[in-house]
Amino acid sequence: MGEPVKYLLAESDIPTHWVNLLPDLPGTPAPPLHPATLEPLGPDDLAPIFPMGLIEQEVSADPEIEIPAEVREIYKLWRPTPLYRARRLERALGTPAHIYYKYEGVSPAGSHKPNTAVAQAYFNQREGVRKLATETGAGQWGSALALACRLFDLECEVFMVGVSYDQKPYRRAMMETWGATVHRSPSELTEAGRAQAEHSTGSLGIAISEAVETAAGSEDTNYSLGSVLNHVCLHQTVIGQEALKQIELAGEYPDVVVGCVGGGSNFAGLAYPLIRRRLREGLETRFVAAEPAACPTLTRGAYRYDFGDTAGLTPLMPMYTLGHDFVPPPVHAGGLRYHGDAPSLCGLVKEGLVEARAIPQTAAFDAAVRFAQAEGILPAPEPAHALRVVFDEAEAARETGDERVILVNLCGHGHFDMSAYDAYHAGELTDLEFSEADMEAALERLPEVPAPA
């Protein structure tokens, strides 16, 4: 039968706990601040828009948090996901490196996002919430939450970034099939939307403002965020825990772990369980975060306190940021168009535990097409950025002749992103410019809060 291509686990191998990396991190993290008072935020400040079950996870000091049976039961619809050894790609690249990819595109929504969407829907439903409001860029997160709300009998209202709403009607149709209501953002439904009417293409920051406003203004509606926050990152750690078991089945351990970063949750999901092992066991594993060169938060942003949204409704968080009203150029990786990043990940980059690399989108699509031609699967534009890093690592391994083991999170398929592939094939895909001047201007508009130490 030859060498294995996939490493599969049984449903009984679905993790029983989420990994909370925070207690393992050195030092005391700088607290989020209340958007009005700029004072450290207490759990109660989040209660108007989040259920207590998730707030507890957000501030938890427990290294492990049990996954409710109801959530694990839903995970069984697509988990455990396969870990592939990319044998055909290795041959195509002529590299001695061993390349493994964890494939999260097998979920019904096509990405890793349902891992947290299902958990969030569960805790909200348990506390009597009737509806969730959220934003979505390219549509991966909105699809995931629409699915999760359907599975837990909640209503779902999605504010979709205008440019994606126009370009990706099929993502909208997918959300509607699962019963969600989808609005083009900026909309006329919220103050935040009406104030941004002139920015008709919209942005994630604006859509977040609209969703938060909707949740804050209604008794039985909560808000749901698809990345950035601690509870979101920890829900995703089912990915890394499974991958660890699977790569052990292959008799290996990764030398390099790679993921793309928009808000940080798919990267955290794969990497945090392995970062914990590095910290606890003194391993030498390297971690590389891939972001778009046109939205280079980790590689060129400032480490500052900033809002998560454009209107300044969310708490301020300590993170690398391009400024909350910086509008990233319209790269096809809509899920990576975010001005900030998860505070936990930013801290790891600041400490030098995670390397960050900025990838131009043509280089990402070049890797995506070559990956598809070798392995079959069509990657989403977001993980295409991570694949570019994998290609570079495999090339370096070829030059030095080392059999480095590379593990990457292929966090979603590109079935709803084929217009980007089409543009690439037609030679019409270009590398969009990052404007340092726009970032400087956006950073100058930030409130005066000292950068955390």
Does residue 77 belong to the site contacting a copy of itself (CB under 8 A)? yes
Helix residue ranges per DSSP H, 287-435: 297-300, 343-350, 361-375, 381-400, 418-425
Plot region of 110 (φ>0 → left; ψ -120 to 50 → alpha; else → beta): left
Task: Please report whether residue 72 would count as binding a copy of itself according to CB under 8 A.
Answer: yes
- Considering the rule CB under 8 A, would residue 253 count as an interface residue with a copy of itself? no
78 binds a copy of itself (CB under 8 A): yes
Nearest approach, Cβ of residue 372 and a copy of itself (Å): 5
CA 27 to chain centre: 25
User: CA-CA distance, 158 to 154, in Å (whole number)?
Assistant: 13
Residues 6+ positions from 429 with CB-CB distance below 8 Å: 332, 361, 362, 365, 420, 423
- Closest alpha carbon to 321 in 344, 305, 333: 305
Phi-psi bin for 384: left (phi > 0), alpha (psi -120 to 50), beta?
Answer: alpha
Instruction: Please report whether residue 416 would count as binding a copy of itself according to CB under 8 A.
Output: yes
**Least distance between a copy of itself and beta carbon 3 (Å):** 9
Place of tokens 């979603």: 412
Q: Which of 12, 28, 37, 400 binds a copy of itself (CB under 8 A)?
A: 12
Question: The tokens 């999260």 sit on which residue?
Answer: 104
Which listed residue (66, 220, 403, 422) binds a copy of itself by CB under 8 A?
Answer: 422
20-28, 146-154, 248-256, 352-360 -> range binding a copy of itself (CB under 8 A): 146-154
Dihedral (CA of 376, 380, 385, 386) sign: negative
Q: Give the per-residue contact string, 277-316, with a copy of itself (x = CB under 8 A; - = no).
A: ----------------------------------------
Q: Where are the beta strands (DSSP E) in 87-180?
A: 98-103, 131-136, 155-161
Please identify, using beta-carbon distances, which residue of 418 and 441 lies nearer to a copy of itself.
Answer: 418
CA dist list (Å): 13 to 76, 236, 422:
10, 15, 39
Q: Decide: is 68 part of the binding site for a copy of itself (CB under 8 A).
A: no
169-177 and 140-151 helices, crossing angle to 10°: 10
d(CA 232, CA 209): 18
251 binds a copy of itself (CB under 8 A): no
Instruction: Please give the size of the binding site for a copy of itself, defined by CB under 8 A.
Output: 48
Q: Which of 104, 375, 382, 393 binds a copy of itself (CB under 8 A)?
A: 375
CA distance 16 to 193: 40
Query: Is 372 among the residues that bind a copy of itself (CB under 8 A)?
Result: yes
Does the protein bind a copy of itself through residue 169 (CB under 8 A)?
yes
Residue 151 in the binding site for a copy of itself (CB under 8 A) = yes
Does 92 sit near a copy of itself (CB under 8 A)?
no
Q: Is 376 in the site for a copy of itself (CB under 8 A)?
A: yes
Q: Rank residues 83 and 228 by Cβ distance to a copy of itself and give the closer one.
A: 83
Query: In angstroms, what CA-CA distances link 233 with 228, 268, 342?
Result: 7, 6, 8
39 near a copy of itself (CB under 8 A): no
Stretch that binds a copy of itself, among 123-131, 193-201, 262-270, 420-428 (CB under 8 A): 420-428
Interacting residues toward a copy of itself by CB under 8 A: 1-2, 4-6, 8, 10-12, 14, 69, 72-73, 76-78, 88, 106-110, 147, 150-151, 169-170, 172-174, 176-179, 369, 372-373, 375-378, 415-416, 418-419, 421-422, 425
